[in-house]
């Protein structure tokens, strides 16, 4: 059996933990730059506030209903997520952190009779110890566990645990779930299925396999097999090494000067290079892209990207900054209001397996020591970037708009909750 533990309205729940005055009020969390709603408490969902709704379009509705608004604080959510997963992981030997708010647990070896009680205990422990409410769906496969979880969230909110331990229950949930709500079925596929009169997961399970293979490919067939209770995907207990590392963010305000855009880019490159070193990789290709805001019809539009092949794979920040700046020079044009710049580090290879260049004059051993030193200093000061590169600049014109950002209660001593 496989259980999916999913935090309820995770970002909103994390904000609430430290803010008692919003315990009963509707809460929404906004995306980067305070643009759209990306998380809602149950009360906000009940007000019919939609996911992805632009905040500026609904100011009146938010104020009228006393909706509490937060900027997204990923430092806080990441830390609380770690606590949730640390708590869950004490209950099982095999588990996979699937996303910031979801974990799959492998419950094979447990007796069915105990599984339900055990999962209720997991739920109660996470709620008490960390302070985050979770819902648990249990089923023979991951796809069904996800479906059981969704059902529990909608129809078994108080209990918060739902176990597909017999075919009657499975059939009930299959009939309850529309094809567009099945994990892994996109909008296109659900439209196709609906056209053929396949409306629910139950309909899909009872569709001939040949038809599924023909229209939904092997991936679709695997999904249907999972819905029938036969597992196709193993738990991935080792976090996969990333193949690309990219950072691209919208600016807090539109930028048109090259030096401002360059500063923003330098900051993204620095952060991406740090991630690159953290996973022990080097990259041999970079891509830089630049774009205007497509929603501003009064502005001239521009989008351009460029890929540079590096002579030797590297994770040395100054080198990456140098090439990123060359790339930017090639695509930058004056006279536009830019909304976003981004860097993508590609062709990642393990740092100890790089192909050296014949004409390479860089002292790569020294560079490595320098980066190790910089990374450990910055780590010591908790990501506050004590050591910076000149290209990053000091101005913050490019930085995110986060006007309603909560403190980083769990990761910075200066931000801890003050209590009377």
Partner 1 sequence: MIVGGSSPERVTRLVISEGVTINYLDIRISAGFPSPALDFSENDIDLIRELGLDKPSVYIMRVDGKSMEGKDIYIPNGAFISVDRSIKAVAGHVVLAILNQEFTIKTLLRKNGRYVLQPENPDFKPIIVSGDDELIIWGVVDVVFYRVGRKL
User: Which segment (255-263, 301-309, 323-331, 412-420) binds partner 1 by CB under 8 A?
Assistant: 412-420
Query: Which of residues 390 and 418 has its CB atom nearest to partner 1 in the complex?
Result: 418
Cα–Cα distance, 141 to 313 (Å, whole number): 41
**Contacts with partner 1 in 350-369 (CB under 8 A)?**
369
Q: How far is the CB of 21 from partner 1 (least distance, A)?
A: 5
**Contacts with partner 1 in 145-204 (CB under 8 A)?**
none
**Contacts with partner 1 in 126-145 (CB under 8 A)?**
128-131
Q: How far is the CB of 376 from partner 1 (least distance, A)?
A: 7
Q: How far is the CB of 366 from partner 1 (least distance, A)?
A: 11
Answer yes or no whether residue 413 interacts with partner 1 by CB under 8 A. Answer: yes
* Dihedral angle over CA of 236, 237, 243, 248, nearest 10: 100
Answer yes or no whether residue 376 interacts with partner 1 by CB under 8 A. Answer: yes
**Total site size for partner 1, rule CB under 8 A:** 25
- Using the structure block, give the residue that is written with the tokens 């997991």: 122
Query: Which of residues 82 and 346 has its CB atom nearest to partner 1 in the complex?
Result: 82
Query: Which of residues 51 and 86 has its CB atom nearest to partner 1 in the complex?
Result: 86
For residue 36, give the DSSP letter.
Answer: B
Cα–Cα distance, 255 to 302 (Å, whole number): 13
Handedness of CA 141, 146, 147, 148 (dihedral sign): positive
Query: Which of residues 290 and 371 has its CB atom nearest to partner 1 in the complex?
Result: 371
Query: Which of residues 30 and 136 has its CB atom nearest to partner 1 in the complex?
Result: 136
Q: In degrees, to the nearest 5, what angle opens at C-alpha 184 toward C-alphas 182 and 186?
A: 90
Contacts of 266 (CB under 8 A, 6+ apart): 321, 324, 325, 389, 391, 392, 393
User: Which segment (17-25, 201-209, 309-317, 338-346) binds partner 1 by CB under 8 A?
Assistant: 17-25
**Contacts with partner 1 in 56-115 (CB under 8 A)?**
82-84, 86-87, 89
Contacts of 82 (CB under 8 A, 6+ apart): none
Among 21, 187, 195, 243, binds partner 1 (CB under 8 A): 21
The angle, 0 to 180 degrees and rounded to 10, between the axes of the packed helices 142-155 and 209-227 is 70
Query: Which of residues 19 and 331 has its CB atom nearest to partner 1 in the complex?
Result: 19
Query: Which of residues 121 and 416 has its CB atom nearest to partner 1 in the complex?
Result: 416
Q: Give the three-class secondary structure for 282.
A: strand
Cα–Cα distance, 240 to 277 (Å, whole number): 15
User: Which segment (224-232, 350-358, 372-380, 400-408) binds partner 1 by CB under 8 A?
Assistant: 372-380
Q: How far is the CB of 12 from partner 1 (least distance, A)?
A: 17
Task: Give me the sheet containing 37-40, strands edge to edge.
Answer: 37-40, 27-30, 68-71
**Among residues 265, 281, 271, which one has the least CA distance to residue 374?**
271
Residues, the chain? 420
Among 23, 121, 159, 377, binds partner 1 (CB under 8 A): 23
Q: How far is the CB of 94 from partner 1 (least distance, A)?
A: 13
Answer yes or no whether residue 420 interacts with partner 1 by CB under 8 A. Answer: yes
User: Which segment (16-24, 43-51, 159-167, 336-344) binds partner 1 by CB under 8 A?
Assistant: 16-24
Query: Which of residues 18 and 98 has its CB atom nearest to partner 1 in the complex?
Result: 18
Cα–Cα distance, 282 to 360 (Å, whole number): 16
Q: How far is the CB of 375 from partner 1 (least distance, A)?
A: 11
Instruction: Build a one-symbol-per-residue string for 236-275: x at contacts with partner 1 by CB under 8 A, - elsewhere.
Output: ----------------------------------------
- CB of 163 within 8 A of CB of 185? no
Cα–Cα distance, 321 to 97 (Å, whole number): 33
User: Tokens for 245?
Assistant: 């590392």
Answer yes or no whether residue 379 interacts with partner 1 by CB under 8 A. Answer: no
> Can you give 222-264 as a three-state secondary structure string?
HHHHHHCCCCCCCCCCCCCCCCCEEEEEEEEEEECCHHHHHHH
**Among residues 32, 15, 12, 11, which one has the least CA distance to residue 401?**
32
> Rule CB under 8 A: which residues touch partner 1?
20-21, 23, 82-84, 86-87, 89, 128-131, 369, 372-373, 376, 409-410, 413, 416-420
């Amino acid at each position: 059996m496989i259980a999916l533990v999913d935090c309820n309205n995770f970002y909103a729940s994390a904000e609430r933990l430290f803010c008692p005055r919003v315990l009963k009020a509707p809460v929404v969390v906004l995306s980067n730059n305070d643009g759209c709603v990306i998380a809602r408490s149950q009360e906000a969902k009940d007000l019919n506030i939609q996911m992805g709704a632009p905040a500026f379009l609904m100011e009146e509705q938010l104020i009228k209903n006393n909706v509490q608004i937060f900027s997204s604080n990923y430092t806080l959510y990441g830390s609380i997520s770690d606590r949730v997963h640390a708590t869950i992981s004490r209950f099982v030997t095999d588990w996979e952190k699937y996303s910031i708010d979801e974990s799959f647990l492998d419950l094979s070896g447990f007796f069915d009779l105990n599984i339900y009680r055990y999962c209720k205990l997991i739920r109660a422990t996470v709620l008490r110890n960390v302070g985050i409410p979770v819902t648990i769906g249990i089923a023979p496969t991951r796809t069904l566990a996800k479906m059981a979880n969704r059902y529990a969230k909608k129809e078994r909110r108080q209990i918060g645990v739902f176990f597909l331990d017999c075919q009657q229950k499975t059939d009930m949930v299959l009939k309850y779930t529309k094809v567009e709500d099945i994990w892994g079925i996109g909008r296109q596929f659900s439209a196709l299925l609906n056209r053929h009169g396949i409306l629910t997961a139950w309909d899909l399970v009872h569709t001939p396999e040949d038809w599924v293979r023909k229209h939904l490919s092997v991936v679709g067939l695997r999904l249907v097999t999972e819905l029938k209770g036969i597992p196709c995907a193993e738990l991935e207990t080792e976090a996969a090494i990333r193949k690309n590392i990219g950072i691209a963010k919208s600016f807090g305000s539109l930028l048109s000067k090259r030096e401002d855009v360059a500063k923003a880019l330098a900051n993204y490159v620095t952060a991406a290079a740090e991630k690159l070193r953290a996973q022990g990789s080097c990259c041999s290709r970079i891509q830089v892209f630049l774009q205007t805001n497509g929603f501003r019809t009064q502005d001239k539009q521009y989008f351009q990207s460029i890929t540079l092949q590096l002579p030797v794979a590297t994770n040395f920040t100054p080198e990456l900054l140098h090439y990123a700046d060359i790339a930017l020079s090639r695509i930058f044009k004056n006279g536009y209001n830019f909304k976003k710049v981004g860097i993508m580090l590609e062709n990642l290879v393990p740092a100890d397996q790089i192909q050296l260049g014949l004409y390479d004059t860089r002292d790569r051993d020294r560079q490595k020591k320098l980066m190790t030193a910089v990374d450990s200093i910055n780590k010591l000061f908790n990501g506050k970037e004590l050591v910076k590169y000149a290209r990053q600049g000091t101005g913050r014109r490019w930085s995110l708009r986060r006007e309603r950002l909560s403190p980083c209660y769990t990761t910075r001593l200066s931000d801890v909750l003050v209590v009377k």
